[in-house]
Copies of this chain bind each other. A is one copy, B any other.
Amino acid sequence: MPSPLEYAQQHRADHLAELKDFLSIPSVSTQPAHAADTMQTAVWLAESLKAAMLENVAIIPTNGHPLVYADWLHAGPNTPTVLIYGHYDVQPVEPLEEWHTPPFEPTVQNDFLYARGASDDKGQVFIHVKAVEAYLKTHGRLPVNVKFIIEGEEESGGASLRAFIPENKEMLAADVALVSDTSMISRDQPSIVYGLRGMCYLLMDITGPARDLHSGSFGGGIDNPLNVLGHIVARLKDENGHILIPGFYDKVRPLSQEEREVLSRLPLDEAAWLAETGAPEAWGEPEYTLVERLGARPTLDVHGIIGGYTGPGAKTVLPSTVHCKLSMRLVPDQDPQEIAQLFQEYVQSIVPPTVTVTINGRGGAPATITDRTIPAMRAAVTAYEASFGKKPVFMREGGSIPVVGQFQEFLALETVLMGFGLPDDRIHAPNERFYLPNFYRGIETSIRFLTGFAQLES
């Protein structure tokens, strides 16, 4: 009988084929047109968990997209339980014309699998499904108890899981959470993220005249919401990346000298990183390093503006209402609700009387930090080193995984962020991809983590 690792190596072609099936269903949770697709993805995933010999597989209805649950709990009462989290929903694919291959027709080119969700997060959560399958199909058992909770709203606010966790503490009880939804710092440098930024997402609408006006007849006598929007945006963040909202930085926990030193040792190749973005140069708060700016400092970005006439040709209009989406990435100990309130108060204090501004929240989450010394962290270090041939580094990641904060708050769980993505995976952008050697090494790392964690805890 093969070992779980041998099983995983022998079934690489099957695992890739299954992942392509998973990726071919357009589970864009934020777009109502894809609601049925998102449900179909949950069904597909549940069947896949059952085929991996997991038990108690359930599609749990919510007010939004369903949760998918499965477990295997026969490792014994004195054996720890790992709660594996991931999400089966994906980001929108627009602008579609920038994709070189269709986003929901997964395509392998060289060592990369191209598809929306390949890295974020279908490819990464599927790693653990296949690791568990490798154990159960060979040994018939797992070295630890395992629970899966996989949501379908990570890219659209996560409201259903957020409501579910506090109501189902017993069902989700575990000793540690394991999440693969982050990136390694480079292809040959495994990385464990121990800090995640939080998030406060807002929609801002600015209304001036009651209808679009002709800029010849009214220009100079009626204020223009698009010009006002420019003034507001310019007063949110200065040209050096400092956020201008009063009180915004008040609760930011200063970086310790020890942590700045850990972060300064991260082998980030700035030139390669910049080349991957295609931007003319890096940028940000001059008093912080690039690594600190990307993971350990809060920021504010406008994500979308639409207003006025944006079709072909020229139209001379003073628009009535213009729309803006933006978010602030947060660090410990900023509170998303408090930040939303500070934003609201500040913008209302600077907005001229010629327009009205309405601001609505679209979800938020605090930043999180995991203790780097707990047994599960040590098991992760060992598993990475054995699978990738190199000791992982610790890093802070700029993205947000709101559920990590909820696991901490409601289930008292620390989370191991075992990422297998790469910085150039183009998540949330056209031509998202997953580096296939990381898919296969990821399955091996997950197998070794389960083994090693059981030994450390026994």
> Of A183, A300, A316, A322, which is in contact with the most chain B CB atoms at under 10 Å from its CB?
A316
B226–A303 CB distance below 8 A: yes
Instruction: Give the contacts of A404-421 with B (CB-CB under 8 A).
Output: none
Instruction: Give the contacts of A197-242 with B (CB-CB under 8 A).
Output: 197, 199, 201, 208-224, 226-227, 229-237, 239, 241
**A1 in the interface, Cβ–Cβ < 8 Å?**
no
Give the nearest-CB partner of A275 in chain B: B210
Q: CB-defined interface of A87-106 with B at 8 Å, one 1/0 digit per residue? A: 00001101100100000000
CA–CA, A215 to B217, complex, Å? 40
The distance from the CB of A208 to the nearest CB of chain B, in whole angstroms, is 5
The distance from the CB of A251 to the nearest CB of chain B, in whole angstroms, is 17
CA–CA, A325 to B305, complex, Å? 13
A218–B398 CB distance below 8 A: yes
CA–CA, A217 to B196, complex, Å? 10
Q: Which residues of B contact A128 (CB under 8 A)?
A: none
Which of B98, B231, B308 contacts A239 (CB under 8 A)? B231
Which of B215, B220, B313 contacts A285 (CB under 8 A)? B220
Q: Which residues of B contact A375 (CB under 8 A)?
A: none
Q: Which residues of B contact A216 (CB under 8 A)?
A: 197, 199, 329, 397-400
Q: Which residues of B contact A302 (CB under 8 A)?
A: 224, 226-227, 230, 308
CA–CA, A12 to B329, complex, Å? 65
Looking at A74-82, A134-142, A256-264, A353-361, the stretch in contact with chain B turns out to be A353-361
CA–CA, A26 to B352, complex, Å? 38
**A455 in the interface, Cβ–Cβ < 8 Å?**
no
The distance from the CB of A65 to the nearest CB of chain B, in whole angstroms, is 12
Q: CB-defined interface of A290-325 with B at 8 Å, one 1/0 digit per residue? A: 100110011111111111111111111111101101
CA–CA, A219 to B301, complex, Å? 7
CA–CA, A313 to B203, complex, Å? 9
Which of B32, B220, B312, B353 contacts A329 (CB under 8 A)? B220
Q: Which residues of B contact A30 (CB under 8 A)?
A: 311-315
* Total number of A residues with any Cβ neighbor in B under 8 Å: 104
Give the nearest-CB partner of A238 in chain B: B231
A211–B305 CB distance below 8 A: no
Q: Which residues of B contact A130 (CB under 8 A)?
A: none
Q: CB-defined interface of A340-364 with B at 8 Å, one 1/0 digit per residue? A: 0000000000001111100000110
A325–B303 CB distance below 8 A: no
B308–A307 CB distance below 8 A: no
B312–A32 CB distance below 8 A: yes
Q: Which residues of B contact A224 (CB under 8 A)?
A: 301-302
Given contacts A220-B293, A284-B221, contact A362 B301 (CB under 8 A): no
A278–B308 CB distance below 8 A: no
B220–A303 CB distance below 8 A: no
Looking at A168-176, A386-394, A425-433, the stretch in contact with chain B turns out to be A425-433
Q: Which residues of B contact A399 (CB under 8 A)?
A: 214, 216-217
A230–B229 CB distance below 8 A: yes
Q: Which residues of B contact A306 (CB under 8 A)?
A: 305-306, 310
Q: Which residues of B contact A398 (CB under 8 A)?
A: 216-221
For this complex, 5 residue pairs linking A to B, each with C-beta atoms less than 8 Å apart, are A92-B311, A216-B398, A216-B399, A234-B234, A314-B325
Beyond A221-B290, A222-B284, 13 extra complex contacts between A and B, CB < 8 Å: A183-B217, A201-B316, A211-B431, A217-B427, A218-B277, A220-B241, A220-B284, A220-B293, A230-B232, A233-B234, A280-B356, A303-B319, A314-B363
| Residues of A in contact with B (beta carbons under 8 Å apart) | 30-32, 91-92, 94-95, 98, 155-157, 183, 197, 199, 201, 208-224, 226-227, 229-237, 239, 241, 277-285, 290, 293-294, 297-320, 322-323, 325, 327, 329, 352-356, 362-363, 397-400, 423, 426-431
